[in-house]
Structure 1
Amino acid sequence: MMTPKRIMLVDNEEGLCRMMEAVLLDSGYAVKAYTRSFEAVEEFKPDQWDLVISDIKMPGLDGLEVLQRIKDKAPTVPVIMITAYATVEMSIQALRKGAYDMLTKPFEPEELLYRVKNALKHTQLMEENRELKEELAGKFRFDNIIGASAGLSTLLETVTKLAVRDTSILITGESGTGKELIAQAIHYNSPRKEKRFVAINCGALPESVLESELFGSKKGAFTGATENRQGLLEAADGGTLFLDEVGNLPMNVQKTLLRFLQEKEFHRIGDTKPTKVDVRILSATNSDLLAEVEAGTFREDLYYRLNVVNLHMPPLRERRADIPLLASHFINQQNEKFGTDIKGLSHEAHHAACDFAWPGNIRQLKNVIEASMALEGGDTISLDVLSQFIDVTRAENGPAEGGGSDYASSLADFETDYLKQLLIKSGGNVEAAAREADMNMATIYRKMKKYGLRKDDFAGG
């Protein structure tokens, strides 16, 4: 049974006070009425009340003074003020002092209940918002980024220093190394944490859509633009915009983004009036942007604007000490989600996992753990089950230090198998496969050509 909301009534008119008390009690609230304002203020304790309703005109301590003292003790407790003389000046004064609402005499019981419900609903939403912010802050604290290897520890020390500075950061590293998680950690540990973190994958959208997604559009700018549309830059005003796979930005979008970074303003598509916003830009890439600059596919001036500071995410094969920690973390997540009780990796599976190159990095490890747990019937993940998802013979032989040919071979095998699974699932539909993988269609076609895969071979699969 839910605990009833507790309401304090303060009104020197005893008849009105008793009437309000009866109405609120009948509606299931816990109510206590005070006809002496001094007594009410003295007995008020923040953790004992959800709402205060007070008259403004009272002898001795008037309602505005009651409001002030309540707010000094409990800023988040809403206060509804009652008055028979609702002048604009008095209302403004009460609202400035923190009153949630004004109720003018005479009023019907239904109006009283309506105002009370609104005030309590507002408080509930504020509390939920506070809890959500605390949850997000906890989710993206640096100590929740799993790992204890020297490389990761050094990186996080640098991130801690950079989070509080409004600097553009380029996060580099292979796919699946956790670049977006680092970007989120930077945002939620920065002065911008109360505002939005907005992310966009620049390789997942066609050029025309990407431009309007980022910068928005004006009504009538193109066919189908039936209203002004806010872009992600505006949505992130005051906060952080994360551009993942930034190397896939088309040249015209690069030009517009560069102007924004220089001028702090941009034009919506079809708009002649500039829009100003205050946004921190974080970006990430798994490609060699300098090589793209030399090839002429990425602007050099934009590269240096985005890459004020570079953070490089080490691949999992260079963080072998973190593999058991990450595996344990993912096993615990799955146990909690599905009510299972897998204790961990068996001794043999543990060694195989630590020796494997993990070309898909943390994302691949997470997927393999989830898939293994779905098939495992014992209380630990066995080598037999693990071997269905990674090549344990290659793991037993051990990859070459620093990657080498074994790593390249592992990466090729992983990408080939992954592409085949995508194409089988989509029946050879490359657009659907790209959407499933959150990848650019051009990237899918390029890798299909590289590994000799034909979409017709998967049609109807």
Structure 2
Amino acid sequence: MSVEPESLKKPKILVVDDELSMVRSLELLLRPLGDVIKAYSVPEAEEFLDQSVDCIVTDVSMPEASGLKLLDSFRSRQPDLPIIIMTAYSSVPEAVEAIQRGAYEYLTKPFSNEEMLAVVKAAIQRRGLLAGETRQLPEGWVCNSIKMREFLSKAERLVESSQPVLIFGQTGSGKRRAARWIAERRGALKTFLSVEYPPREESHPILESSIEKYSDLYLAEVFSLSPRLQDRLMQLVEEKGVRLIAGSSSAPELQGGEAFREDLRELLQRQVLRLPSLEERREDVEAVCQQLLEAMRAEMRMPQLKLDEEALAALGSHRFVENFRELERILQRAAIESKTGLIRKGDLQFRETDLDQILPFSIPVEQGWGRLEFLYRGLEKELIERAVKKYPEASNTQIASILGTTRRILELRMKSYDIQES
């Protein structure tokens, strides 16, 4: 008896929806891509938990149980199984939660046949990728983890889209870098503008200037924009044809509140990319460390700069709050402290030492604001002085990175406080 080669087997697609007509329509639509298995409830779909399935397409809102329960059940058994969520517009927050919990993609009803086919086809191809298929990765990116490969797979599908893209991820996870890569893939790097920290003030000189010459705009923390700047952003997108790539440190339904334009929020929710945190991609930590240390070796002129096994294990298990930004600061401190170039576990400083007696007395309510400003400037000056004293061999660029700011801001503050370089 001949055995069918694994590469020739048809993918199995599980379709789950309590609406008979929807299940039937999807069966006819997806049949060219593989064998379609039908289920009309979450309990019925869970009967296939121990069977081989290559992709799941499920509604999120069903009478007996939510599609989120189905998502959790299958991902606990098969973490790399692509699960596509279907949702009505009113259930978008649930769909975004599904993405956070590991769903491959979500589609808002009504969707086109072309949209569904493209997403399912990409999901099936991704199964081949995870089984060992290779793909060209962005230069300088570390993508050993499944989570990061999933992100790139989704990002590639949005490269040619003219609609806004929202990238949400934790602080320091690389949202700006991802936006730049999307613009580069579009061939728009020369007309790419990044506005990294939009303030909450009513105006912004860059956004209100003539930026129509830029085809692609990355805007960090988009949900912090004032109502006036939200109006300007809608004008740039709808009237000027600027392609927006927005960044947010958390999911869109948790941001902005009533002060945020609902039409702009809806626009941003159409194409959402979730950038995994460093904690979610621990397989990448070692390679990222090697990449950062290689750059530091050149900058600090230290031919021997590496981590011992205990230091690497400590970094691999550490819970990073600021992701790559925090990892880079930890490695820079350790590299400066290291005498031999070999970074040991004891050289790693995972938390800032608290400033001694930050508030030696309580602030009275009367004239408290002015007192607070005075204290802030005093603390800022002391923090810079301590950093300069602690790292006498470090450059301003390195000290700025350790403090979590930029070299230009550091040097402006040093000049303001009359702090001399060591």
1:289 aligns with 2:247: no
1:341 counterpart letter in structure 2:
P
Relative to structure 1, the CA distance from residue 423 to residue 145 in structure 2 (aligned partners, 3 Å threshold; closer, same or farther) is farther
- Contact persistence 1:245–1:285 (CA under 8 A): yes
1:300-351 deviation per Cα after TM superposition (whole angstroms, max 9, x unaligned):
1101223331111111111111111111100000011222123421111111
Q: Secondary structure at the residue paired with 1:282?
A: strand
2:218 corresponds to which of 217, 242, 262: 242
Instruction: Give the residue type in structure 1 aligned to 2:306.
Output: G
Q: Does 1:148 align with 2:144?
A: yes
Task: Name the CA distance, whole Å, in 1 between partners of 2:263 and 2:405.
Answer: 28
Counterpart of 1:308 (choices 264, 270, 276) is 270
* TM value normalised by structure 1: 0.46
SS of match in other structure, 1:350: helix
CA RMSD after TM alignment? 3.1
Question: Out of 176, 180, 188, which is 1:192 matched to?
Answer: 188
How much has 1:234 moved relative to structure 2?
Answer: 2.5
Equivalent residues in 2 for 1:144-223, closer than 5 Å = 144-193=140-189, 195-204=190-199, 206-208=201-203, 210=204, 212-216=205-209
Q: 1:261·1:305 contact (CA, 8 Å) conserved in 2? A: no
Which structure 2 residues correspond to residues 431-442 of structure 1 after superposition, within 5 A?
none
Using the TM superposition, give the Cα deviation of residue 297 of structure 1 relative to its aligned residue in structure 2, in angstroms: 2.4
Q: Which has the larger radius of gyration?
A: 1
Question: Could you tell me whether the CA contact under 8 Å between 1:202 and 1:246 is conserved in 2?
Answer: no
Match of 2:233 in 1: 257
- Using the alignment, how far apart are the partners of 1:313 and 1:332 within structure 2? 24
1:184 alignment partner, SS class: helix
* TM-aligned CA distance change 1:257 to 1:315, over 3 Å: same
Inter-partner Cα distance in structure 2 for 1:360 and 1:157: 24
1:156-199 residue CA offsets vs partner (Å, 9 max, x unmatched): 11212222332310000110000000000000111424x32111
Q: Matches of 1:251 and 1:292 in 2, distance apart?
A: 14
The total of aligned residue pairs comes to: 234
248-257 or 199-208: bigger deviation? 199-208
What CA distance in whole angstroms lies between the structure 1 residues aligned with 2:293 and 2:382? 28
CA–CA separation in structure 2 for the residues paired with 1:438 and 1:304: 33
- One-letter amino acid of the structure 2 residue matched with residue 215 of structure 1: E
2:319 paired residue number: 357
Unaligned runs of 5+ in 1: 1-139, 217-230, 265-277, 392-418, 428-432, 440-458
Distance in structure 2 (CA, Å) of the matches to 1:337 and 1:313: 29
Return the alpha-carbon distance in structure 1 between the equivalents of residues 213 and 404 of structure 2: 26
Distance in 1 (CA, whole Å) between partners of 2:275 and 2:378 is 28
Aligned letter for 2:152?
L
Q: How many angstroms apart in 2 are the aligned matches of 1:301 and 1:349?
A: 48
- Look up the equivalent residue of 2:246 and give its one-letter code: S
Written as runs of structure 1 = structure 2, the 5 A alignment for 1:381-400 is 381-386=343-348, 388-390=349-351
1:409-424 to structure 2, matched below 5 A, reads 424=382
1:425 aligns with 2:383: yes
**Any conservation in 2 of the 1:247–1:287 contact (CA below 8 Å)?**
no
Contact 1:215 1:234 in 2 (8 A): no
Question: Is residue 2:301 matched to residue 1:323?
Answer: no
Equivalence map 1:25-104=2 (5 Å): none
For 2:303, the equivalent position in structure 1 comes to 341
Counterpart contact for 2:320–2:327, Cα < 8 Å: yes
1:200 partner amino acid: V
- The letter of the residue matching 2:221 is E
Secondary structure of the residue that 1:314 maps to in structure 2? coil
SS in 1 for 2:217: strand
1:437: how far off?
5.6
Amino acid at match of 2:185: N
Conserved in 1, the CA contact under 8 Å of 2:200 and 2:225?
no
For residue 242 of structure 2, what is the aligned residue in structure 1?
279
Asked whether the 8 Å contact 2:335–2:343 carries over to 1, the reply is yes
Q: 1:337/1:243 Cα in 2 relative to 1: closer, same or farther (>3 Å)? A: same
Identity within the alignment, %: 23
Answer yes or no: is the 8 Å Cα contact 2:198–2:224 preserved in 1.
yes
Kindly indicate whether residue 336 of structure 2 is the aligned counterpart of residue 374 of structure 1: yes
- Is there any run of 5+ residues in structure 2 with no aligned partner, and where? 1-135, 353-376, 386-399, 407-416
The answer to whether the Cα contact below 8 Å between 2:199 and 2:225 also exists between their aligned partners in 1 is no
Instruction: Find the counterpart in structure 2 of residue 219 from structure 1.
Output: none
Q: Using the alignment, how far apart are the partners of 1:312 and 1:424 within structure 2?
A: 38
1:198–1:235: 8 Å Cα contact kept in structure 2? no
**CA 1:165 to 1:191, structure 2 compared with 1: closer, same or farther past 3 Å?**
farther
- Normalising by structure 2, what TM-score? 0.50
Contact 2:286 2:316 in 1 (8 A): yes
Deviation for aligned residue 1:367: 1.2
> Aligned equivalents of 1:175 and 1:157: distance in 2?
22
